[in-house]
């Protein structure tokens, strides 16, 4: 595969978006600290599991819809209620994280602006709430670049480390949905009234 093809593919799976972020510098790459970080983020783990479970059960709902429409409708209604509860929990998490900020996100990492500089190869704990689905992700990342911006902020690029496949799939689905939404919005702006 040529470099141009790889670059086009990378751009296809990358979006600019606004998400709530909490970034914490990890003092080491010690697994004890990673486990402690995960234990203190039970809320994020639960929200993440909620969305992963919903993603994994979609094909079952489609199969059931073909056989028993009443039961399928009931399960979809219950699923919607659970999604609403997840959004309430995510709003609680958003209150702790603060206002959403502009990022560039892909399956491989996230790029954001920060008032703080980070050393290359520094390990970060990243908590992220993706809206409007209220998907919460907690990831480990390694700093790939840290550039000073004109306003005194820093442009930080990261690469996810040890991202579980289920979270990678959730992130990929979110990116594809946001890209489709952005394309629809662009077409609506271009459509004559």
Residue 53 is part of a domain; what is its CATH number? 2.40.10.220
Kindly report the average pLDDT of the chain as a whole number: 78
Residue 189, in any domain of the structure: no
Residue 74, in any domain of the structure: yes
Q: If you average pLDDT over residues 86-112, what whole number do you get?
A: 78
From its phi and psi, is residue 160 left (phi > 0), alpha (psi between -120 and 50) or beta? beta
Residue showing tokens 């699923």: 79
Q: Which of 35-39, 54-58, 176-180 has the lowest mean pLDDT?
A: 35-39
On the question of pLDDT at 63 being above 90, the answer is: no
Answer with the residue of higher pLDDT: 44 or 126: 126
Residue 115, in any domain of the structure: yes
| Residue 40: pLDDT band with limits 50, 70, 90 | very low
Q: If you average pLDDT over residues 78-82, what whole number do you get?
A: 79
Report the C-alpha gap between 188 and 118 in whole angstroms: 40
CB atoms within 10 A of CB 99: 8
Residue 1, in any domain of the structure: no
Answer with the residue of higher pLDDT: 133 or 121: 121
Answer with the residue of higher pLDDT: 4 or 13: 13
Residue 7, in any domain of the structure: no
Q: Locate 160 and state its tokens.
A: 């996810």
Q: Locate 115 and state its tokens.
A: 């008032």
Report the C-alpha gap between 193 and 118 in whole angstroms: 48
Q: If you average pLDDT over residues 153-172, what whole number do you get?
A: 87
Residue 171, in any domain of the structure: yes
Residue 3, in any domain of the structure: no
- Report how many domains make up the chain: 1
Q: Going by C-beta distance under 8 Å and a sequence separation of 6 or more, which residues neighbour residue 51?
A: 86, 133, 135, 136, 170
Phi and psi at 118, nearest 5°, equal: -125, 145
For residues 158 and 193, the answer to whether their CB atoms sit within 8 Å is no
Phi and psi at 190, nearest 5°, equal: -80, -25
Report the C-alpha gap between 161 and 174 in whole angstroms: 19
On the question of pLDDT at 111 being above 70, the answer is: yes
Residue 5, in any domain of the structure: no
Q: Locate 86 and state its tokens.
A: 């997840």
Q: Could you tell me the residue range of the domain that residue 34 belongs to?
A: 14-184
Tell me which residue of 14, 11, 38, 12 sits closest to 24, measured CA to CA.
38
């Amino acid at each position: 595969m040529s470099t141009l093809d790889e670059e086009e593919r990378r751009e296809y799976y990358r979006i600019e978006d606004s998400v709530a972020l909490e970034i914490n510098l990890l003092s080491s790459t010690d697994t004890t600290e990673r486990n402690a970080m995960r234990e203190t983020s039970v809320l994020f783990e639960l929200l993440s599991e909620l969305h992963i479970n919903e993603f994994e059960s979609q094909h079952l709902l489609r199969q059931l819809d073909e056989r028993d429409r009443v039961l399928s409708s009931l399960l979809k209604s219950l699923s919607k209620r659970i999604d609403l509860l997840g959004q309430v929990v995510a709003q609680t998490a958003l209150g702790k994280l603060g206002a959403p900020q502009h990022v560039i996100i892909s399956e491989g990492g996230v790029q954001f602006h920060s008032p703080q500089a980070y050393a290359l190869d520094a390990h970060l704990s990243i908590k992220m709430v993706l809206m409007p689905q209220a998907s919460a992700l907690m990831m480990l990342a390694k700093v790939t670049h840290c550039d000073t911006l004109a306003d005194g902020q820093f442009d930080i690029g990261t690469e996810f480390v040890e991202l579980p496949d289920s979270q990678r799939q959730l992130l990929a689905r979110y990116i594809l949905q946001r890209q489709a939404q952005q394309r629809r919005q662009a077409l609506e702006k271009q459509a004559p009234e």
